[in-house]
């Protein structure tokens, strides 16, 4: 089990807010690379210590946020491509991605995650497309109710576990 949320714990380690980070391209790059490294390190520790079936966020998610926040800077295209290649490499260890259709439920304001439903849908669609481009199987959950989403996710996880024999 992974105990910390990457973005929030990194912001705390940096003693910065997300607003502070996005004032500087240098800080943005540092922050995004730190998230990538933290996620990979935390997952490897979890994988090495026990069987792991489900993690929150895929590397396609991380890439979607990098493109959303940093993709508009033409001078960063080389850096964005390097970030993508790392995400794709790390994503290759996944058996699949369970994609919950963005914009289907209210996002609580936590000071990090944007709460706009249209934005969530845009990021979600880009994440889904990125995961498929990275070559992993994407199982899509489209139900809007929590109970229905949990039921669908349970079926997908049981299917993946069944294929692991």
> How far is it, in rounded angstroms, from Cα 136 to Cα 131?
6
Residue 152 lies in a domain: yes
Tokens of 29: 């790059």
Give a yes or no: residue 84 inside a domain. Answer: yes
For 94-105, what is each residue's pLDDT tens digit? 877 887 776 666
User: Which one, of 163, 162, 164, 157, lies nearest residue 55 by Cα?
Assistant: 157
Q: Is residue 115 part of a domain?
A: yes
Q: Which DSSP category does 102 fall into?
A: T
Domain presence at residue 151:
yes
The tokens describing 35, both together, are 């998230």
The verdict on residue 117 lying in a domain is: yes
Whether 83 is covered by a domain: the verdict is: yes
Here the tokens at position 78 are 């080389």
Question: Is the pLDDT assigned to residue 2 strictly greater than 60?
Answer: no
Report the number of distinct structural domains present in the chain.
Answer: 1
User: Can you give the residue range of the structural domain that contains 132?
Assistant: 6-162
Would you state the pLDDT for residue 52? 62
> Which long-range contacts link 46-51 to residues 24+ away (Cβ below 8 Å)?
46/1, 46/2
Mean pLDDT of 37-44: 87
Q: pLDDT tens for residues 60-110?
A: 889 998 998 888 888 999 999 999 999 999 988 787 788 777 666 677 777
- Is 1 a residue whose pLDDT tops 60? no
- Confidence grade of residue 165 (pLDDT, cut at 50, 70, 90): very low
80 part of a folded domain: yes
For residue 1, is it within any domain?
A: no
Residues 6+ apart with CB under 8 A from 91: 58, 59, 60, 131, 134, 135, 136
pTM of the model: 0.79
Q: What is the model's pLDDT at position 84?
A: 94
């Amino acid at each position: 089990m992974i105990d910390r949320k990457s973005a929030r714990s990194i912001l705390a380690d940096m003693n910065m807010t997300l607003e502070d980070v996005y004032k500087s391209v240098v800080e943005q790059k540092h922050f995004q690379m730190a998230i990538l490294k933290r996620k990979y390190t935390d997952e490897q520790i979890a994988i090495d210590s026990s069987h792991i079936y489900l993690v929150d966020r895929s590397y396609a998610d991380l890439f979607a946020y990098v493109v959303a926040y940093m993709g508009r800077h033409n001078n960063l295209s080389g850096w964005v491509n390097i970030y993508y290649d790392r995400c794709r490499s790390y994503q290759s260890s996944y058996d699949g991605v369970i994609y919950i259709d963005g914009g289907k439920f209210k996002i609580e304001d936590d000071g990090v995650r944007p709460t706009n439903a249209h934005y969530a849908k845009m990021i979600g669609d880009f994440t889904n497309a990125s995961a498929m481009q990275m070559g992993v199987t994407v199982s899509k959950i489209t139900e809007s109710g929590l109970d229905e989403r949990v039921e669908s996710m349970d079926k997908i996880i049981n299917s993946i576990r069944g294929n692991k024999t």
